[in-house]
């Protein structure tokens, strides 16, 4: 299953990807550990991540903060296991 997903612990990257329309498939969180964000691989995913790290993306503040709020709600209210 690991090969079907891009995973990251980076909340800011995950928020940006969600704001750009990528689907956050799962959040794996065990105990008090931080969440592991899992995105299904897509042809545009890795190029978008590359543009993120090069500061070449443009997102409205509303998109960004709406996505952050949605991810935090999901992270703190629902625990999902990657192996389910």
Read off the pLDDT of residues 1-30 as tens digits, 9 standing for 90 and up: 457 899 999 999 999 999 999 999 999 887
Q: Please say if the pLDDT value at position 84 is more than 80.
A: no
Sign of CA dihedral 72, 77, 31, 39: negative
Contact 2, 49 (CB under 8 A): no
Q: Which is nearest to 18 in space by CA: 37, 43, 1?
A: 37
Q: Please say if the pLDDT value at position 33 is more than 80.
A: no
Specify the pTM.
0.84
Report pLDDT digits (tens) over 35-54: 899 999 999 999 999 999 99
Residue range 78-84: mean pLDDT, rounded: 49
Q: Where are the domains of the chain?
A: 2-77
Q: Which is nearest to 49 in space by CA: 13, 2, 12, 21?
A: 13
Contact 15, 64 (CB under 8 A): yes
């Amino acid at each position: 299953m690991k090969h079907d997903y891009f995973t990251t612990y980076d909340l800011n990257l995950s928020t940006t990807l969600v704001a750009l329309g990528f689907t956050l498939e799962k959040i794996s969180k065990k105990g008090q550990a931080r969440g592991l964000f899992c995105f299904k691989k897509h042809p545009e995913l890795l190029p978008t991540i590359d543009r993120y790290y090069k500061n070449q993306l443009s997102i409205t503040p509303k998109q960004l903060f709406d996505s952050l709020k949605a991810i935090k709600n999901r992270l703190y209210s629902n625990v999902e296991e990657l192996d389910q």
